Structure 1
Amino acid sequence: MKCFRANPRTAGILERLAHPSTRATISDICELTGTAGLSLGVIHGGEVIHQSHFGYRDVDKKVGPNANSTYHVGSMSKAMVAASFASLVHKGKLSWSTPLKELVPEYADPATVTRLAELKSEANIEDLLAMRTGLPTANGLWVQQCQQLLVPKTETARIFGLLEPQHKFRLKMSYCNWSYALAGEILERLAGSSLEQSTKGLRYDRLGLGTTTFGDPAEDNHVTAYMTLTDRSPLAVPCPPLRSGRLLAAAGAAESSLTDLLTYYKALLKAAADQKESGKTETEGSPFFDVQYLWGPRAVINEHSHYGLGWVVTELPGQGGLVGVNSYESPRGLPTIAKGIPEPVQLVYHNGAMAGALSAVYLLPETQTGIVVLSNTFALCDAPDWIAQFLVEASQNARTHHVNTRKILAEERTLGAKPRELSKYVGRYYNSIGNFYLDVAVHGDNGLRMTTQGYPFVHYDLSHYHYDVFAGDCDRDAETRRTIYPQWSPNFHRISSHQLQISLCKRLFKVCYRGYVAVGLLTGGARIFDGYSASEK
């Protein structure tokens, strides 16, 4: 643990952070969630006042993390990309309202078909960064198992155009990593360099950051990635696959250390305060531009929170973690942070989550306070988020979701409803633009195996559920051993790799649930896969 000498303003918070009960609570959260290694730091009054480290960056070697250990930060990358766009807007390279059709060649092509018509008309870069297009998450189109990227980067614009809206355009925030995938490619074109070089040139070099990268990190002092089994033991898994030059890098490829991130967020808080006071969009010597715009209400999340550009913004008392794992993982819902404070306080935050990593950053601009929590484990719940909230005020955890999901699936099954002959389901099934396919074959005596994009290790073994519906078992540990990103919502399980429902419909291999006709494995509930067999192509 490393602490810093505090001025009188920070003495109280420093005393609370250094209290043995604080470290004990954080250690308990790590133990209960099965978090292998974790680093945290606190900024207050614009100064770094506290750092602590827990567990191991490498469990087998019993080596702990330190302030310079490099972690995957997942979707905390989004705010970094949005800030890079703010730099380009400041330089006049584009405006927030520049239409995508002027930035994406595919959307200027009359032959390109998009399910969201606005992509070829009024949609702009701000719509991407605020994730307010109404398009679905569709994470299964880029990764499913074993950290294998499923499509090349060149397909980004076409796949994004293929997604079918689940909400009206600009109605609300609809979390979609593909929005940032496309934004990253636009950033590369405008900056004339790779995502790694463009982000470094726009900001990182000016802050003197030594470990932060969207590219290949240094192997020395890099954390090992883990996922947690239900007995709370860590299982080493391949590192997250996102990198500059690959698919979806702008959505979550950044890696950094506690030292770098504390420097980064300290500079961001300082620029935000200066620009708010001056009314200007720049701060002398700072790489951050128009921070108040980045934190402004660009898309509604709920009545209390909005999404800016790469950030969630709300007021305390209120809920955090709305874009993190705990938002859907917690059976009792999210806690209210900072109950009883005398007046509302602005909270700006974001979570990061990938198979093998969880992270969180919480900022309280009014007091120049920042909390950064990094871990190398996709644990039984989102420990960095709970710890960040605990360091603001509160913490919780949950562990029993898969048991509940199995119970619901069993209750909703229609017994005695028989399938067709298994051979009727066999074939290769493409999406409507031919850049994504599923192979279905008979497997064993009474089952099917569905393989994605020709990767033999990315497959799902299915047994009959009812009627024309087949199901894969919902076993968290089995999924963890194949590096499958966990999902606990019963509805998601029914249409995802955790609980596939496959139906024969007009000779098309599809997944059906409550009116949706979709490959839920790819969508989480929105229709984006109009399959057809190879013989029909």
Structure 2
Amino acid sequence: MHRHGPVRWMATGANRSAARPGVRVAAPLLAGLLLSGPLLAGCTSAAATDPAAAPTPSPASTPSGTVATAPPPQPPPQLTQEQVSAAVGRIDGYVQDAMAKTGVPGLALAVVYRDKVVHAKGFGVRELGKQEPVGPDTVFQLASVSKPIASTVVAGAIGQKAVKWDDPISVHDPGFALSDPWVSSHVTIADLFSHRSGLPDHAGDLLADLGYQRDYILQHLRDQPLAPFRASYAYTNYGLTEAAVAVAKAKGAAWEDLAAEVLYKPLGMSSTSSLRSAYDGAANKAVPHVRTDTGWQVSATENPDPQSPAGGVSSNVQDLGRWMRLQLADGTFEGRQIVDAAGLNETRVPQIVSNPPMAPAGNAGFYGLGWNVSYDPEGRLRLNHSGAFELGAATVVTLLPSEQMGIVVLTNGQPIGVAEAVAQEFLDLAQNGRETVDWLGFFGKVVPAAALEGVSPTDYAEPPAGAAPAGPDAAYVGTYGNGYYGPLTVSARDGGLVMSLGPDDLEFPLQHYDGDVFSFRTKGENAVGLSGVTFTVGADGRASAVVVEQLNHEGLGTFTRS
């Protein structure tokens, strides 16, 4: 999903300039970004409204016997039809101004209120240099907004008595394992959908960048170190993907087919799919773009099929309007119960603290099952998720169930805060009748700053003064093994060294930095600019091992000469 999700920002990659640092998918984000009340969760900036005004939820029992917080009884609606209509009337102008300021090529949004799509519109173009406009039927990649859609599908499977949220993964996928055997036998669907399994942040995403497919990545999650089970939150696209795959196995179907059978077809989401091929084949689709030093340019996102439940959905705002209506109606749509209400409502219960309060009287942010869960200053439950592909997509959905209102915003530009700003502006206009915070300025700083995570502390652009010379090429050339990332091969070519990684032998030219240290330019959704490669050379003048800095965040980046 690449990074779809929370704020540190990881998407499925990042792209500084032409290659900013990394959103590690579905995010990251993304990859997503989280909104806690009016704030991006995890952000250190202060909100215009007082977060202490939100009530403290009361403890309740949740799946797997863990303790979480249940949503308090929802207050009666506070917004009037006139307030919502006024916000709808002003949001188009805000969108046009935001696009003019940032240059984001295309955007579509839909607003749902009281079981109706009251506004659906497209802005800008599908692809720079071409005239085709974005409309409400234009298909976008959703990135991590796929996660609440996936939990909706699981709720549907629960209604069909195929699974329960607290089913252990091992019941439906006996071959799955994590590094701790006890955790392997106890981790549940809910644990993985709420990112509380103990897997590290974005575990498996870098394998996807190297070209590994879903089965390999899920099998190798057992190599990842674990934090305390059900006591720590870390956003993991492939953890959630494994849970969805287990649900699909319980139904005897592929996940992509199950999503269509349980949700897309019954709801009439005819332009929605969990397969990249459907997006690629769509005649009316928004093409991804990235912002470079010379302006916006057409890009290409990685294929998110390996993590399809976490970040692989494509859709348009017309279809997503139907989905928001179903969400706000507890699984019903136009008089038909399509998704089990109890299974769906469980997705909205806080399962784990994702963002602790930053002050004694501050508000915590929670993660439910595929949703960021928070309580706004008026005491209302707020459900939110952002999606981000650093290589060219930024999306957000926010629901206020007590108001029967929701908004979804899709863009075809890399995440720079526009989608989040538009959604928050609409909520601000509806609640307050005016903008209380410069949301575009706020998110325009927070989101790009979050993408800087993972950047090397060393500036490899120029060798240091007095750099030691490298050894002869023969000292480094050879094949090095690694049980997680697979083999790494160093070859001498055209007067330099080239490193090859992954099942397709992706090539990375090495530039000498200092002594036995080289650098390479990272690629893919999680790219972070230049990163280091350090060889260990013995007394025999031959390298016995090599550490790849970008791959070593969890201590898994050491390759030993075969």
State whether TM-score is above 0.5: yes
Task: Please report how far the alpha carbon of residue 102 of structure 1 lies from its aligned counterpart in structure 2 after TM superposition.
Answer: 2.2
**Match of residue 486 from structure 2:** 436
- With over 3 angstroms needed to count, the CA separation of the structure-2 counterparts of 1:61 and 1:502, relative to structure 1, is same
Could you say what secondary structure the match of 1:193 adopts?
coil
Q: Select which of 309, 319, 327 maps to 1:268.
A: 327
User: TM-score scaled to structure 1, two decimals?
Assistant: 0.75
CA distance in 1, matches of 2:394, 2:214: 24
Summarize the Cα distance change of 1:34–1:464 in structure 2 as closer, same or farther, 3 Å threshold: farther
Counterparts of 2:421 and 2:109, CA distance in 1: 12
Aligned to 1:133: 197
**1:73, CA displacement in angstroms?**
0.5
Q: What is the aligned partner in structure 2 of residue 177 from structure 1?
A: 237
Aligned to 1:356, which of 392, 397, 401? 392
- What is the aligned partner in structure 2 of residue 395 from structure 1? 440
Q: CA deviation at 1:307?
A: 0.8
Gaps of 5+ in 1: 1-7, 275-282, 318-342, 474-478, 488-492, 512-518
Counterpart selection for 2:217 from 156, 177, 201 = 156
CA distance in 1, matches of 2:490, 2:122: 47
Match of 2:513 in 1: 465
The one-character-per-residue Cα deviations of 1:327-350 (angstroms, maximum 9, x if unpaired) are: xxxxxxxxxxxxxxxx33322111
Distance of aligned partners of 1:411 and 1:159 in 2 relative to their CA distance in 1, 3 Å threshold = closer
Q: Is the 8 A contact 2:140 2:314 kept in 1?
A: yes
**What is the aligned partner in structure 1 of residue 525 from structure 2?**
485
Measured after TM superposition, the shift of residue 312 of structure 1 is 0.5
User: How many Å separate the matches in 2 of 1:423 and 1:32?
Assistant: 53
Q: What amino acid maps onto 1:367 in structure 2?
A: E
How many residues end up aligned between the 2 structures? Answer: 448
Match of 1:427 in 2: 478
Contact 1:358 1:377 in 2 (8 A): yes
Per-residue CA deviation, residues 95-138 of structure 1 (Å, 9 max, x unaligned), is 3222222222324xxxx7x4243443211211111111222214
1:354-389 Cα distance to aligned partner (Å, 9 max, x none): 22322110111111111100112225x132122222
For residues 115 and 66 of structure 1, the distance between their equivalents in structure 2, rounded to whole angstroms, comes to: 47
Which residue is equivalent to 2:347? 294
Please, which of 84, 89, 92 is the counterpart of residue 13 of structure 1?
84
Pick closer, same or farther for the CA change 1:383–1:259 going to 2, 3 Å: same
Q: Which amino acid aligns with 1:302?
A: N
SS at match of 1:248: helix
Query: Cα gap change, 1:508/1:383 in structure 2, threshold over 3 Å: closer, same or farther?
Result: farther
Give the distance between the partners of 2:223 and 2:302, measured in 1 at CA.
25
Retained in 1: the 8 A contact 2:147–2:310? yes
State the match for 1:67 in structure 2.
Answer: 136
Separation in structure 2 between the aligned mates of residue 52 and residue 461 of structure 1, nearest angstrom: 45
Contact 1:374 1:384 in 2 (8 A): yes
Question: Does structure 2 conserve the Cα–Cα contact (< 8 Å) formed by 1:184 and 1:249?
Answer: no
CA distance in 1, matches of 2:185, 2:467: 47
How far 1:510 sits from its partner (Å)?
4.3
CA contact (8 A) 1:206 1:287 kept: no
Whether the 8 Å CA contact 1:38–1:373 is kept in 2: the answer is: yes
Q: Aligned equivalents of 2:454 and 2:248: distance in 1? A: 42
2:531 matches 1:500: yes
Distance between the aligned counterparts of 2:327 and 2:132, measured in 1? 32
Match of 2:314 among 255, 263, 266: 255
- State the Cα distance separating 1:179 from its structure 2 match: 0.8
The residue correspondences of 1:110-125 to structure 2 (distance < 5 A) are: 114-125=178-189
CA shift for structure 1 position 185: 2.2
Structure 2 residue ranges without an equivalent (≥5): 1-78, 357-363, 429-438, 538-542
- Aligned mates of 1:404, 1:285 — CA distance in 2: 43
Q: Which moved more, 1:394-403 or 1:416-425?
A: 394-403
Deviation track 1:418-462 (CA, whole Å, cap 9, x = no partner) reads: 2651433332233226x62322234665x5432222535x33333
**Matching residue of 1:418:** 468
Higher relative contact order (CA 8 A, sep 6+): 2
Percent of aligned positions with the same letter in both sequences?
Answer: 23
Q: Which residue of 2 aligns with 1:228?
A: 291
Match for residue 325 of structure 1?
none
The alignment's TM-score, normalised by the length of structure 2, stands at: 0.72
- 1:351 deviates by 1.1
Cα contact 1:520–1:526 (8 A) shared by 2: no
Q: Does the C-alpha gap of structure 1 residues 231 and 400 become closer, same or farther in structure 2, counting only changes over 3 Å? A: farther
Aligned to 1:527: 555
Task: Provide the C-alpha distance between the structure 2 equivalents of 1:66 and 1:242, rounded to a whole number of angstroms.
Answer: 24
Q: Which amino acid aligns with 1:353?
A: A
For residues 558 and 174 of structure 2, the distance between their equivalents in structure 1, rounded to whole angstroms, comes to: 24
Q: Which letter maps to 2:105?
A: A
